[in-house]
Amino acid sequence: MNDSTPAPVHAAADDVSLSIEGVTRTFGTTRAVDDVSIRVRRGEFVTLLGPSGCGKTTLLNLIAGFLALETGEIFIDGQPISGLAPHERNIGVVFQNYALFPHMTVADNVGFGLRMRGVSKAETARRVQEALEMVRLPQMGDRRPRQLSGGQQQRIALARALVIHPQLILLDEPFSAIDKNLRAEMQVELKRIQRQIGITTIFVTHDQSEALSLSDRIAVMAQGRVQQLSEPTELYRRPANSFVASFIGEINRLVCERRDEADCAVLCAGDVRLRLPLSRAIGSGTQATLYVRPEALRAVEAGTPEANFGAGRVEAQVYQGTHVDLIVQGDNGWLLRIREPGFEALERHPVGSRVGVHAELAEAHVFQPGAA
């Protein structure tokens, strides 16, 4: 999904809705959540993104109160919540597997949290209907969950979370059990509702395209720690470390020799010699790995000054509809993936031909090999 509607204007940076401060949780010897601190602005949509087992669900469970903190504190609107039971926290939660009560009607499922809180029957009925309308299923109140599709059940789960008018909503991989076709539709729908009511949202996924398309900011997690918390474009273009660079999108990883000068990092591989500002060269040493995305590389005429990334031989073409990837074996040993928009590269750069390679150095990053 490529949402072209403008992002909501953020409230002042100090308008913090959720504040996670130095939170840790271990299971035996596993540090599932390891000293995590995140501040989320009111109305912001923040995604926790990372591979399976990196601690996303554990962090959500700590916020919701299903698990106890070991260190740190969590604040909602400035109030510490670690002493509160889950139902005292005013947080809506949506799980991956819908988790609707099968024996209850849809309306009773949606109204469950209100009955638990002692809201009157008439007020419950009114708010249930309002929540069903919000998720565009106003006629479904009398049905049982099994009579609904997966996508509809997940909308009901969302209505059930929103009906209590929570200060915060948590969603744990809510669309991963839903058909791929329907998933895009559900994403648009969630974003519409989230913007409409302006609710602070923590969304968990291991799907980077879902994260990039929905989020105001993304926290990339690995091994219980937040590796980077940034806006999607920043995350993609300015990764903080090699894990983030490799985890988000496709990227060329190129080993270089490093011989720094006073004001810049100088990277060498064969006859290629690159100068990068030190601010984008993280760490130091005599070896480094250069990270550059395929779309920051371009095929040019070999031997020209434009070919700042050397020259090589086209080993393969990968046609992808909107672009062609050229796999180029560089004379200096680098194996490069170059992304050319359109389809012209299929004819212009046949397999076996020689090409020069130009790199947009403003889009290249250096990390120490193996550094997290």
Ligand X SMILES: Nc1ncnc2c1ncn2[C@@H]1O[C@H](COP(=O)(O)OP(=O)(O)O)[C@@H](O)[C@H]1O
Residue in the structure block whose two tokens are 């510490």: 80
Q: Does 248 bind ligand X (CB under 6 A)?
A: no
Q: How many CB atoms are located within 10 Å of the residue 28 CB?
A: 6
Q: Which does 32 bind (CB under 5 to 8 A by kind): Mg ion, ligand X, none?
A: ligand X
Query: Of 96 and 332, which CB lies nearer to ligand X in the complex structure?
Result: 96
Q: Which does 288 bind (CB under 5 to 8 A by kind): ligand X, Mg ion, none?
A: none
Site for ligand X (CB under 6 A): which residue of 20, 23, 32, 357?
32
Order across the sheet with 335-341: list the strands: 297-300, 354-359, 311-319, 323-330, 335-341
Whole-angstrom Cα distance, residue 296 to residue 362? 9
Residue nearest to Mg ion (CB): 57
**Closest distance between ligand X and the C-beta of residue 209, in Å?**
18
Query: Of 57 and 153, which CB lies nearer to Mg ion in the complex structure?
Result: 57
Q: Which does 141 bind (CB under 5 to 8 A by kind): ligand X, Mg ion, none?
A: none
Site for ligand X (CB under 6 A): which residue of 7, 8, 22, 27?
27
Q: How many CB atoms are located within 10 Å of the residue 359 CB?
A: 23
**Closest distance between ligand X and the C-beta of residue 25, in Å?**
8
Decide: residue 109, CB within 10 A, 0-12 exposed, 13-18 middle, 19+ buried: buried
- Interface with ligand X (CB under 6 A), residue total 11
**Closest distance between Mg ion and the C-beta of residue 136, in Å?**
28
Q: Which two tokens stand for residue 99?
A: 């988790």
Please name the residue ranges forming H helices in the chain: 56-64, 106-116, 121-134, 150-162, 180-197, 208-214, 232-237, 242-247, 345-348
Whole-angstrom Cα distance, residue 136 to residue 134? 5
Query: Of 95 and 291, which CB lies nearer to ligand X in the complex structure?
Result: 95
Q: Return the residues of window 45-74 that contact ligand X according to CB under 6 A.
A: 50, 52-58
Could you tell me if 293 and 333 are in contact, meaning their C-beta atoms sit under 8 angstroms apart? no
**Closest distance between ligand X and the C-beta of residue 225, in Å?**
12
Interface with ligand X (CB under 6 A): 27, 30, 32, 50, 52-58
